[in-house]
Every structure is written in structure tokens, then in C-alpha cells.
Amino acid sequence: MRRAIFPGSFDPLTLGHSDIIKRGITLFDELYIAIGINADKKYMFSLEERKRFIQEAFKDEPKIKVVTYKGLTIDFCKEIKANFILRGLRNPGDFEFEKAIAHTNRHLSEIETVFLLTSSGKSYISSSIVRDVIRNGGDYSVLVPETVVFKP
């Protein structure tokens, strides 16, 4: 079985994340969307909200499981018997950062990292940009799945 995890903070889930997830499920038998818990990080959305955004967005996709984890990603991979880590790349900066992590993970384990380029038209979207738009009262609905948009 080809089992992968797509780790991240998903604060919040963006259309870029959704793009990678939708394309990733074609490559793997199971895809765990793994929300990392970092006590030192300040999040805009609670863990429960972030998990709900993802679960609702992919409720009709049986290959997807939404989970949370603490610690090293490779340790979590071993725990759930995942052989792959799925990562999205938006730009050359992402590549350099992710390459270093992938090399480290490969050095510490047998787990392979699979990179997908974000689709054209979504490569500018990041969670930090979405949070900034939200903080400043902008229309963020064009950057996130419907499940993330606040209903008045």
C-alpha cells in the first residue's frame, strides 16, 4: 500500500494546499493530512478549526485521513507506516528549504519525499498571506476553499 502524509500547520488551509492534496490522492492509496502541533507557534485558527476545515473540504474523499501529530514528521510516518512525505513547491525558495528537510529525513529514515509543483495560478498563495488578508479585512475567499470562509 502506498501511504503518504502531507504535513503542515494548515493555518489556514489554502487553495494551494487543496491543489496538492487533490493531485496527491491520485498518486497514493492513502493520504494522511497531518496537522503538526507546535506549542511554540501562535496560530490564527485553533487546531479544531484547522482540522474541521480540512475534513469538510475532503469529506467525500475516502483515501484521505485528517490527523494531528507532535514531534518529528519521520517518527509519525513510522508510527502510521507511511512510506512517503508529500510536499508542495511554490517557488525556488520553497525548493531549497524543502530539499534540506527531505535530505535530512532520508538520512534519518527510508522515507521518500515526493514534491509536486503547485498549479499555475496558485503558486502565490500562502497561509501567511491569507492570514494577513484576513487581519486587514480583505476578501480572502478567493484564496481558500469554501470550508475556510467565515459565514456571517
Start-to-end C-alpha separation, the chain: 43
* Annotated catalytic residue, options 41, 81, 107, 151: 41
Q: What is the pLDDT of residue 38?
A: 85
* 151 catalytically annotated: no
User: What percent of the chain clears pLDDT 70, i.e. is strictly above it?
Assistant: 99
**What is the tens place of the pLDDT at every residue in 52-109?**
999 999 999 999 999 999 999 999 999 999 999 999 999 888 899 999 999 999 999 9
**130 φ, ψ (degrees, to nearest 5):** -60, -45
Q: Give the integer Cα–Cα distance in Å for 99 and 77.
A: 18
Note if 107 is an active site residue: no
- Whole-model pTM over 0.85: yes
Residue 135 known to be catalytic? no
Which of the residues 51, 87, 122, 127 is marked catalytic? Answer: 127
Query: One of 23, 90, 99, 106 is an active-site residue; which one?
Result: 90
pLDDT higher than 80, residue 47: yes
Beta-strand ranges (E) seen in 70-135 are: 84-89, 112-117
How much is the pLDDT for 86? 98
Cα–Cα distances in angstroms (integers) from residue 151 to residues 10, 132, 148, in the given order? 19, 19, 9
Please provide residue 22's backbone torsions phi and psi, each rounded to the nearest 5 degrees.
-60, -40
Identified catalytic residue from 17, 50, 51, 122:
17
81 is catalytic: no
pLDDT at 135: 94
19-33 residues labelled b (16+ CB within 10 A) or e (exposed): bbbeebbeebebbbb
